[in-house]
Amino acid sequence: MLMLKYIDSYVGSNLQTNNTIQLVCELFRNLISLYGAYIGAQSLYEYYQYNTLDQCEYGGLQIIKTMMLDFLFVKEKEYTTYLHHFGGFYIMFIYYYYNLQMNIVKNIVVAVFLTEVSTVFLRIRDISKICNVYSGKLKLINNNMFALTFFYTRIYNYTNVMYLENGINDIVIEYNFKYPIIFVAPFHGLYILNIYWFYLIVQIGLKEYSNPKKTN
């Protein structure tokens, strides 16, 4: 983890080799991510229940903060995590730089918050592994829920927002960006990243179901 690496380099400690410290950091990282998912769910609840967008901007800022904290615990070779977080930072920058109106970009915002649903099952998996309880029915049900919610929110629903009515193309037309690529690039980048991640999920799932005894 980057934080432990820098602490070790500055004070001469060996935190990176301490299993207890590693587990505590992993647990804290997962709890931070769950908090981000909770904020996303709260924003969605406000939107669907009361048809208000007031919570969405606050929710977006809070999720960005969780990404900033997550950087402290990212492992050196988690390149896709770096790309994902930088994409999130860039989208938030665009939102404020171009002074985008929430009522115009709401479909994209809602779609992004929905992607946090799959994060819940990802973190349940990781926390359960830390506690050595990820097996049997818990593993089977959670793996399936993670794959299903990931596909629905990050592939199917995200595709609709990317290419169908009231999506990214309509926003480009509405704001008449001089360089549209500046706006659409991070969304396409995250979309490609999600497709890559889903490919890995399918590959792991096929491997587990073809060799169930080896993965339990």
- Residue 19's pLDDT is what? 87
- Residue 172's pLDDT is what? 84
Where in the sequence is the domain holding 43, given as residue range(s)? 2-215
- Residue 128's pLDDT is what? 95
Nearest to 77 by CA among 185, 150, 155, 5: 5
CA 62/CA 68 separation, integer angstroms: 10
Query: Structurally, how many domains does the chain consist of?
Result: 1
- Residue 149's pLDDT is what? 97
C-alpha distances in Å from residue 48, one per residue of 42, 110, 166: 10, 10, 17
CA 58/CA 56 separation, integer angstroms: 5
CB 2 within 8 A of CB 71: yes
Low-confidence ranges of the chain (pLDDT < 50): none
- Residue 4's pLDDT is what? 83
- In tens, the pLDDT along 76-88 reads 788 999 999 999 9
C-alpha distances in Å from residue 40, one per residue of 4, 62, 112, 214: 29, 9, 9, 36
